[in-house]
Structure 1
């Protein structure tokens, strides 16, 4: 295993390719984030209404090295300045993960550097650490993305305890499926939120799933079905107008945000904490941010969000998380393996002196 002096300055190259965005970043242990670049495949997949794994993998292969060169140029640095490489090992699409991992391992071998695979959700969870004001441990993290909706107690890097999980559709997945049912564009989540801005908030009252029972698990499949039935009824009544569509989007968005607020409040009370971190792609949603900010203001607690550009997949969060694990002496062998499914609680804790 490669070992490093945790007190020596380091420069980590981060490579994120878990799904349909190629993210590259350079993170310096003392100077912070030096540069980052992101290429989105939204236009590539738009005509299919969703991500096509084979196309995603091929596009990552085409884009990774040009983006690495672009990021190095932005930071005005050279490969010889890099001290380690971090890449997304999982979870995600296997082909996409392998694309990034193979390039990362090849660069590490060519440049004689240590490389470490990073858990994609740990990257999201730690994304607020890239900001000037960082949350202190311990805290509750609401991690909401296209594939995950989790409530986690975080006592340090690698010290995670899953308190609540989604039983079916994640919040982001429910947003995307709702958009498809309503005939909106791709990607669906932002389209629902955009339409919701024109919606009347009190026309429809959608259910808040699983808030009437104990526990912190979540389920958004039933809410998705309720939304579809409301839209089909509007069609039957010849009321499938743009305004009705906007009103339904508003009711759906408010129901998701309110459900997440109730679950977060319950988690904070259960764990005796008053510090909340919200991350993942869905954390960019305006209604969710407003409701959770209001919750923590009322509790006189603290809430932390990553900046909007770091809510969705990005190389900066991988570079940051990887830099901490490299500083702790962790690195991968040449015989690397990706993990499309990976338990967050199985990660190795990092000594507090590295953080």
Structure 2
């Protein structure tokens, strides 16, 4: 939250003065994440976006930050599975820090992927990781994700005298195990629900991982899901970034939705209840956005 409060205003100041005032452009819509997420970060972003909307006298929309869901339309979503503890990105970032990976301008997980890319996948067997929620038959049939146990196992394995080769091997094994868990649960959801799915979109920061991308396609093929299109955004857009939220806001606005300035943060906001909260304004037609 401190980082948000420190950096948001200067960034927006530079954008407005460099691109808006200079070229005489108009901003038609301000989009921001309303939830789910950490309350402090959400509050900082939402308050800043409201102020920007008022200052620019423009439309405002507060949108949902997406999860593993079945999406039938812009506003019709069904949650298939969610994590019972932490997110996979959180796990990988924490493991990168525990392993002493230097990330500089990259996110910790992305830096760990690049740093450990020369480690052999076969080394995964050396660490004897158990795929999360696989020990019991009831767990194997449960549509949920769990990553905290894997994180605890990693903390126990890391020792001060571990050389770089071993640390890279461990990093590679962490990624493989986490991604195998994700893929198994996605395939389980396809099998259990007999879903007529034409496309599977994998987005967010972890979606940039090359191991995840290759392993996902391989496993879908092995399980007979040849006809499902596997879609990954370009790597530069595989983050929880402004472009993703802006596009979601644009789509919602074009469908006739915007938000009241009184809209509050929703740290816990189930996507299947996306339209059941206060703060939406719906009009059959809204003025088109400028090109």
TM bucket (normalised to shorter chain) is 0.7 to 0.9
Aligned to 1:119: 64
User: Could you tell me how far apart the structure 2 residues matched to 1:84 and 1:167 are?
Assistant: 35
Kindly report which structure 2 residues correspond to 1:291-302, keeping only aligned pairs within 5 A, or say none. Answer: 291-298=215-222, 299-300=225-226, 301-302=228-229
From 279, 293, 305, the counterpart of 2:203 = 279
From 85, 102, 106, the counterpart of 2:47 = 102
Is the contact made by 1:90 and 1:119 (CA closer than 8 Å) also made in structure 2?
Answer: yes
Aligned to 2:158: 231
TM-score by length of 1: 0.67
Q: SS at the partner of 1:117? A: strand
From 181, 187, 194, the counterpart of 1:265 = 187
Is the contact made by 2:4 and 2:44 (CA closer than 8 Å) also made in structure 1?
Answer: no
User: Could you tell me how far apart the structure 2 residues matched to 1:96 and 1:225 are?
Assistant: 26
Gaps of 5+ in 1: 1-52, 122-142, 144-150
Give the drift of 1:72: 4.4
Give the drift of 1:57: 1.6
Is the contact made by 2:101 and 2:115 (CA closer than 8 Å) also made in structure 1?
Answer: no
Q: SS at the partner of 1:262? A: helix
Indicate yes or no: 2:131 matched with 1:183. Answer: no
Provide, for residues 84-127 of structure 1, a one-character-per-residue CA deviation record: whole Å limited to 9, x for no partner.
32222223344443443334333433444321111122xxxxxx
C-alpha change, 1:71 and 1:267, in structure 2 (3 Å) is farther
Range with bigger deviation, 190-199 or 341-350: 341-350
Aligned to 1:32: none
Q: SS at the partner of 2:190? A: helix
Q: SS at the partner of 2:37? A: coil
Indicate yes or no: 2:52 matched with 1:155. Answer: no
User: Could you tell me how far apart the structure 1 residues matched to 2:272 and 2:241 are?
Assistant: 22
Aligned to 1:289: 213
Is the contact made by 1:84 and 1:115 (CA closer than 8 Å) also made in structure 2?
Answer: yes
User: Could you tell me how far apart the structure 2 residues matched to 1:228 and 1:155 are?
Assistant: 40
Q: SS at the partner of 1:331? A: strand
From 61, 77, 91, the counterpart of 2:36 = 91
Indicate yes or no: 2:115 matched with 1:195. Answer: yes
Indicate yes or no: 2:166 matched with 1:220. Answer: no
Give the drift of 1:248: 0.8
Provide, for residues 168-225 of structure 1, a one-character-per-residue CA deviation record: whole Å limited to 9, x for no partner.
1221111122122222235421232123212122232421111352122111122122
Give the drift of 1:68: 4.0
Aligned to 2:289: none
Is the contact made by 1:175 and 1:189 (CA closer than 8 Å) also made in structure 2?
Answer: yes
User: Could you tell me how far apart the structure 1 residues matched to 2:21 and 2:56 are?
Assistant: 18
Aligned to 2:25: 78
CA RMSD of aligned residues (A): 2.8
The structure with more strand, counted as a fraction of residues: 1
Is the contact made by 1:279 and 1:305 (CA closer than 8 Å) also made in structure 2?
Answer: yes
Q: SS at the partner of 1:85? A: strand
User: Could you tell me how far apart the structure 2 residues matched to 1:90 and 1:196 are?
Assistant: 33
User: Could you tell me how far apart the structure 2 residues matched to 1:225 and 1:113 are?
Assistant: 47
Give the drift of 1:278: 0.6
C-alpha change, 1:283 and 1:73, in structure 2 (3 Å) is farther
C-alpha change, 1:54 and 1:261, in structure 2 (3 Å) is same
Q: SS at the partner of 1:189? A: helix
C-alpha change, 1:250 and 1:103, in structure 2 (3 Å) is closer
Aligned to 1:168: 85
TM-score by length of 2: 0.80
Give the drift of 1:61: 1.8
User: Could you tell me how far apart the structure 1 residues matched to 2:9 and 2:117 are?
Assistant: 38
